[in-house]
Amino acid sequence: MMVMTVLSSPLGGRDVPVGCQAAGVADFWWGPERRGGHRWNLYCSVDPAPPAQRKTVPELRTQLLDERLQLFECYRAMFALRNLGNKEAVLALGDGLQCSSALFRHEIGYVLGQIQHPAIIPQLQAALELEGENAMVRHECAEAMGAIGKEECMKILERYRKDAERGVKESCEVALDMLEDENGTRFQYADGRPRLQGPNSKHGHWTL
């Protein structure tokens, strides 16, 4: 669940207040104010905020990146862009990998893994290769590349399967297993996350 992930995440430091705010977002949306279930969600996932409505990709990008806004509004933009799922929306989401909050960058990496759009590979690679990037962010970017399932992703992940950061190394190994599964070279892969249907996915993944 989102709340458990946020509160147990080792993102540390300045992201602790953001994590508490995210827990509040989830509590609001999962509480009495929630209406409409999953009818707006292509990914059959339990999201901590509804997608923003009737906005263009540039407007959503502005909302996504505006760190003056409440986290709830940033999440709404993130899920709206995810649900659009086209190249313009995916690249706008990729810009979120430059946000100051490691927690939010981690969430961006996760939804990019849900979308599985190959246009985002260069930005995922850059985040994985960034020296000093938070391990949880690198972990999500590695798994997103595994979900995309392209040969170029495999080459990138192979370079980092011996990474000094244990979590990143294991994420690359998991992602490579996912790629083998997508390519039909494994009988079955079980990563603990049910596979779901998304606009660009063979199987999809579920959200935090």
**CATH value at residue 92:** 1.25.10.10
On whether residue 207 sits in a domain, the answer given is: no
Residue position matching structure tokens 């979590």 = 167
On whether residue 24 sits in a domain, the answer given is: yes
On whether residue 206 sits in a domain, the answer given is: no
Mean pLDDT computed over 176-183: 74
Indicate if the pLDDT at residue 2 is higher than 80: no
On whether residue 190 sits in a domain, the answer given is: no
Q: Of 86, 138, 130, 132, give the one whose Cα is nearest residue 109.
A: 138
On whether residue 175 sits in a domain, the answer given is: yes
Whole-model pTM? 0.75
Q: Of 198, 137, 205, give the one whose Cα is nearest residue 171.
A: 137
What is the domain extent for residue 142? 2-182
Q: Of 92, 94, 77, 100, give the one whose Cα is nearest residue 25.
A: 77
On whether residue 80 sits in a domain, the answer given is: yes
74 vs 62: CA distance, rounded Å: 9
Q: How many domains does one find in the chain?
A: 1
Indicate if the pLDDT at residue 205 is higher than 50: no
Task: Pick the range with the lowest mean pLDDT from 86-90, 136-140, 174-178.
Answer: 174-178
- Quote the DSSP letter at residue 51: P
Q: Of 2, 54, 50, give the one whose Cα is nearest residue 27.
A: 2
Taking only the tens place, the pLDDT of each residue in 118-150 is: 999 999 999 999 989 999 999 999 999 998 989
On whether residue 104 sits in a domain, the answer given is: yes
> E strands, 83-181, where?
none
Indicate if the pLDDT at residue 71 is higher than 70: yes
Distances (CA, A) of 9 to 68, 73, 167: 23, 21, 13
Mean pLDDT computed over 66-89: 96
Share of residues in the chain with pLDDT > 90 (%): 52
Whether the Cβ atoms of residue 98 and residue 83 lie closer than 8 Å to each other: no
Taking only the tens place, the pLDDT of each residue in 15-63 is: 555 555 555 555 545 544 454 445 567 787 888 899 999 899 999 999 9
Indicate if the pLDDT at residue 194 is higher than 50: no
On whether residue 197 sits in a domain, the answer given is: no
